């Protein structure tokens, strides 16, 4: 058997040990040679590989394939790195998966008991790898915006709003807690089918009068709002929003969203009579 290097050989050993639930130790464990031996003293299983002087390949020179030891549901080679690589897709698709659920995943798929610390570190490793991907993607947002301007200069969002939506716009903002810190500002409306119609979004450092003015000014030009005549704006006590709106769209009607007030009211008074 030939491997690219010692790292690939170690990965193959880990996969073998975990699949067959056997305990092996690596001594010596060096870049140019690796010797794997069963931990049981009465078991003669061994696998030795080193760099071939002629070809330069990492080649297995000595291998005794028979195991005479008992299997185990614990394995030190099942590290956080191994678990993260094995279940990366499952953890990425369900980022709120709990540690005990990852433990069950290891037990069902691998037949091994894996400690909470290893599962926690595996989840953290997957998140860190995803974060690095997000950082690269966020760094290309300007390229994404330029490409949209080239390929779709007349955005369907503002066209759809002008042609089929009522002049009632909802503004909101929320914190971003992932790789990209800051706040997400969004503008939505409802179409003729009473469905949410996204209009625009922006990522800003903080929710202030300046950031809202910046956002609303772009909206004013794209949606041809003028000074806000015939427009109703709804928001949920956003910081600096009222001052920005009065400055950019002084003639727009202003309404407060009562969703959270109603939600709190509903929790306290369940019955219709008390609500009245």
DSSP string, 30-45: -SSEEEEEESSTT---
- For range 243-268, the mean pLDDT: 81
- For range 55-65, the mean pLDDT: 90
Buried b (16+ CB within 10 A) or exposed e, 227-249: ebeebebbbeebebbbebbeebb
Number of C-beta neighbours around residue 206 at 10 A: 11
| Separation CA 252–CA 170 (nearest Å) | 13
pTM: 0.52
H or E element, residue 233: strand 232-235
**Residue pLDDT, tens place only, 192-239:** 788 888 888 888 888 888 998 998 888 888 888 888 888 888 887 777
**Residue pLDDT, tens place only, 142-168:** 888 888 888 877 666 777 788 878 888
Q: What is the mean pLDDT of the chain?
A: 85
Give start-end residues of each CATH 3.30.420.10 domain in the chain. 157-273
Whole-number pLDDT of residue 256:
79
* CA-closest candidate to residue 97, choices 87, 112, 85, 107: 87
- Given a cut of 60, whether residue 275 has pLDDT beyond it is no
Whole-number pLDDT of residue 273:
59
Given the candidates 3.40.50.2300, 3.30.300.30, 3.40.50.970, 3.30.420.10, the CATH classification of the domain at 157-273 is 3.30.420.10
| Separation CA 110–CA 126 (nearest Å) | 19
Q: Which of the four pLDDT bands, split at 50, 70 and 90, describes residue 78?
A: very high
């Amino acid at each position: 058997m030939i491997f690219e290097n010692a790292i690939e050989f170690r990965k193959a050993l880990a996969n073998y040990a975990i699949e067959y639930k056997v305990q092996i130790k690596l001594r010596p464990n060096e870049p140019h040679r690796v010797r794997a031996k069963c931990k049981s003293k009465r078991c003669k299983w061994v696998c030795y590989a080193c760099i071939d002087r002629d070809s330069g390949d990492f080649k297995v020179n000595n291998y005794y394939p028979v195991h005479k030891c008992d299997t185990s549901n614990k394995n030190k080679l099942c590290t956080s790195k191994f678990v993260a690589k094995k279940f990366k897709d499952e953890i990425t698709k369900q980022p709120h998966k709990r540690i005990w659920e990852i433990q069950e995943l290891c037990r069902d798929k691998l037949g091994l008991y894996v400690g909470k610390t290893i599962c926690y570190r595996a989840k953290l490793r997957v998140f860190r790898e995803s974060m690095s991907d997000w950082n690269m993607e966020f760094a290309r947002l300007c390229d994404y915006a330029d490409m949209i301007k080239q390929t779709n200069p007349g955005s369907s969002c503002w066209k759809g709003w002008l042609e089929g939506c009522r002049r009632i716009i909802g503004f909101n903002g929320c914190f971003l807690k992932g790789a990209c810190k800051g706040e997400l500002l969004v503008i939505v409306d409802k179409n003729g089918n009473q469905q949410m119609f996204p209009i625009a979004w922006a990522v800003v450092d903080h929710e202030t009068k300046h950031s809202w003015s910046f956002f609303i000014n772009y909206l004013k030009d794209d949606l041809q709002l003028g000074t806000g005549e015939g427009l109703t704006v709804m928001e949920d006590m956003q910081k600096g929003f009222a001052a920005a709106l009065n400055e950019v769209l002084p003639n727009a009607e202003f309404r407060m969203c009562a969703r959270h007030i109603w939600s709190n009211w509903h929790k306290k008074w369940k019955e219709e009579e008390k609500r009245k």
